[in-house]
């Protein structure tokens, strides 16, 4: 159980977590046990006033929005998809960089009128195709997006692209660039008021850590 006096930071599992931990360490925050080798989801840190909670990325904004966590670290893609209501997006941590793009089979021309799109980013895709005047039939999937065009479920996908190797291995290529993505620090609006000094100090330490790590010029 987390004490009410503790500042709780929600972390995103996976690649973002691996790149977050060195930043937190530079900011003076380290878990008392290894997050990578533990099955626990709540972690005390070397600072009695700070605790960490480990979540799926899509759940981080929800926990922060409702005040279960005061602060969260989450990809910009999820903030674009689910919105930032109830949150302040206060810092670009410049980690877990990638691109949000459309992609399709390399041997097929993209449609300029109507297209079937497989994605987990329904809201982002809807806005993107509407802005281009293209009628999009959106198909919600949760993984293995590249299969959708291969099996004629969709004409294009909207997904995160890092190296592009998975696309190429499946005969696909990126098309439209929607946004550059990196991880962001978000804060619950009520927590920013009630714990302003503590959160401001955290933001300042993390900002310096980003600079030291070379994330910003």
Distance CA 21, CA 115 (A): 41
Average pLDDT over residues 131-153: 95
Please count the other Cβ atoms lying within 10 Å of the Cβ belonging to residue 34: 9
Distance CA 3, CA 189 (A): 19
Q: What percent of the chain has pLDDT over 70?
A: 96
> From the CA atom positions of the chain, what is the Rg in Å?
19
HSE of 59, CA atoms in CB hemisphere, 13 A: 11
Distance CA 116, CA 135 (A): 9
Per-residue pLDDT tens for 13-34?
A: 999 999 999 999 999 999 999 9
User: What is the dotted CATH code of the domain comprising 7-96+182-212?
Assistant: 3.40.190.10
Per-residue pLDDT tens for 48-88?
A: 999 999 999 999 999 999 999 999 999 999 999 999 999 99
Please count the other Cβ atoms lying within 10 Å of the Cβ belonging to residue 171: 14
Whether the pTM exceeds 0.75: the reply is yes
> How far apart, in Å, are the Cα atoms of 169 and each of 54, 105, 149, 164, 172?
32, 11, 13, 9, 7
- Residue 4 is predicted with a pLDDT of 64
Distance CA 199, CA 195 (A): 6
Tokens of 105: 């089979």
Min mean pLDDT across 94-98, 110-114, 136-140, 184-188 is at 110-114
Which fold is adopted by the domain 98-180? D-Maltodextrin-Binding Protein; domain 2 (3.40.190)
Q: What are the sequence ranges of the domains in the chain?
A: 7-96+182-212, 98-180
* Backbone torsions φ then ψ of 105, nearest 5 degrees: -65, 135
Tokens of 187: 């804060």
- Residue 37 is predicted with a pLDDT of 84
Q: Which helix (H) or strand (E) holds 80?
A: helix 76-82
């Amino acid at each position: 159980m987390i004490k009410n006096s503790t500042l709780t930071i929600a972390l995103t599992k996976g690649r973002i977590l691996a790149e977050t931990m060195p930043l937190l360490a530079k900011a003076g925050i380290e878990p008392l046990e290894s997050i990578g080798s533990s099955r626990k989801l709540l972690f005390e840190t070397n600072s009695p006033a700070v605790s960490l909670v480990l979540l799926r990325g899509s759940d981080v904004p929800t926990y922060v929005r409702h005040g279960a966590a005061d602060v969260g670290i989450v990809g910009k893609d999820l903030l674009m998809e689910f919105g930032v209501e109830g949150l302040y997006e206060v810092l670009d941590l410049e980690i877990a960089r990638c691109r949000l793009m459309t992609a399709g089979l390399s041997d097929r021309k993209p449609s300029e009128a109507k297209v079937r799109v497989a994605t987990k980013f329904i809201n982002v895709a809807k806005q993107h195709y509407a802005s281009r005047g293209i009628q999009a039939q959106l198909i919600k999937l949760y993984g293995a997006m590249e299969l959708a065009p291969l099996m004629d479920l969709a004409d294009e996908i909207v997904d995160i692209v890092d190296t592009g190797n998975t696309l190429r291995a499946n005969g696909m290529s990126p098309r439209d660039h929607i946004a550059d993505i990196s991880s962001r620090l978000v804060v619950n609006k009520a927590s920013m008021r009630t714990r302003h000094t503590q959160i401001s100090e955290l933001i300042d330490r993390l900002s310096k850590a980003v600079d030291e790590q070379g994330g910003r010029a």
